Amino acid sequence: MSSTFLQRWLILCLLNLPFCLVSGQEFLYEVGGMAGGSFYMGDANKTVLFRGLNPAGGVVFRYNANFRIALKGNLAYAMVSGTTQNSGNAFPNGAQASFSRGLVELGGQFEYNFFPYSDKFAYLNTRRYSPYILIGLGATVAPGKGSTFAGMNIPIGTGIKYKLKNRLNLGLEFSVRKLFGDGLDVTDDSNRLLDNPYGISGSMMKNKDWYSLLMFSITWDFGPRNCQCNSSDNILF
């Protein structure tokens, strides 16, 4: 190998180094599991957070575009339940109803880290922890005895992630899911009361159910990011 070639390769590497560093973390992807709790908000629970908390779990996949931006996909199963008793709402003719059901969610979210997230590259002011916010789009299906609910949802939330060690990440996330329907709490004729009990015309923001997830996650990094400046053959040294 000639000295001229080595000189050209070194110059090219130095010129490309800043672009390799700003491209983001050491690894492109994360995969792992999550577990926590879920609760519903709707006609049987208008304002009380974490009322009727039920178990939830799932799997998560994340693509790290750079230190601050990540794209996440999730597949989750959660239980939701509610009752009109002691809910603080007055229903027509004093009627009461309750429900309990499981749901499956498939969704994707855009995440923004408030701090550059990595346990390396300290000279770029990275941190091994970072709070973040998320927004996305998903689909929810909740089978029922006589009525299956299916529809889109909009997840909005916040969380914090912490890189425990190389490749291992811990996360805690709270998010709400805005549904485009009022039937999550209607499983059969026994709780049909919860399907718009006041007979008020609905809109995008009115008479729609919500559910929330509080999830703890553990993910593993994989897919080393290969910068073009490492070698002429794209081989990491």
Of the listed ranges 21-25, 58-62, 135-139, 148-152, the one predicted with least confidence: 21-25
Q: Which residues contact 94 (CB under 8 A, 6 or more apart)?
A: none
- Burial 74-102, CB ≥16 within 10 A → b, else e: bebebbbbbbbeebeeebeeeeebbbebb
The dihedral sign for the CA sequence 201, 179, 141, 174: negative
Is 0.75 surpassed by the pTM of this model? yes
79-121 per-position pLDDT tens digit: 998 887 765 666 555 566 778 899 999 999 999 999 999 988 8
Confidence band of 235 (pLDDT split at 50, 70, 90)? very low
- Ordered alpha helix ranges (H), the chain: 3-22
The arithmetic mean of pLDDT across residues 164-179, rounded, is: 95
